[in-house]
Amino acid sequence: MDSDGQYEQQVVWAVVGTGIGPLLLAATREGLVNVVFHATDGVRDKALERLASRLGREPVEAPDSPLLAVAIRQVEAYFAGERRDFELPLDWSLISGFNRQVLRELASGVPYGAVVGYGDLAGRVGQPGAAQAVGMAMGSNPLPVVVPCHRVVESDGGIGGFGGGLETKRKLLALEGVLPEPLF
């Protein structure tokens, strides 16, 4: 406990194996706060350093933590094809302003198996013409997969960019039935 008798905000993490490689999941008492693609040792260590810096406390590895248990089960079920929606408390403290507004709209308004254009998503948050800014919001998404930035595509039918890599985006869209499964 801290000097005010309150429990210090805890940040816990675990790495989960998935069909797109290892994902780092981190949570606070508020909810899931970060998902990081390709969480091999080096990537994981850098992500944990960034989290410590941004949240002001050292993340603790705790794969059995109740704060992570539901998130881990839901992520595993999603990749097994058994879950289409995430029903998790989310800690939005790593993102604010326009980016948070866009990501909240994405999380609530673009369901499994659907896609939306960058410009369409900009219009949904009252900023028509802000497609590039929406792209920046997708790139700053601290909760990919759970907040499904992979569902945002170019209006001309192109797949668009993706922080986890285009192959990862293709695999996620194939999992959701938007694209055919890659042949190899």
As annotated, the active-site residues are 149
- Quote the tokens at residue 7: 């429990």
For residues 100 and 106, what is the distance between their CA atoms, to the nearest angstrom? 10
Over the Cα atoms of the chain, what is R_g? 17
For residues 115 and 153, what is the distance between their CA atoms, to the nearest angstrom? 7
Q: Which residues contact 26 (CB under 8 A, 6 or more apart)?
A: 11, 12, 13, 32, 33, 34, 35, 36, 47, 48, 51, 59
For residues 107 and 147, what is the distance between their CA atoms, to the nearest angstrom? 5
For residues 169 and 152, what is the distance between their CA atoms, to the nearest angstrom? 10
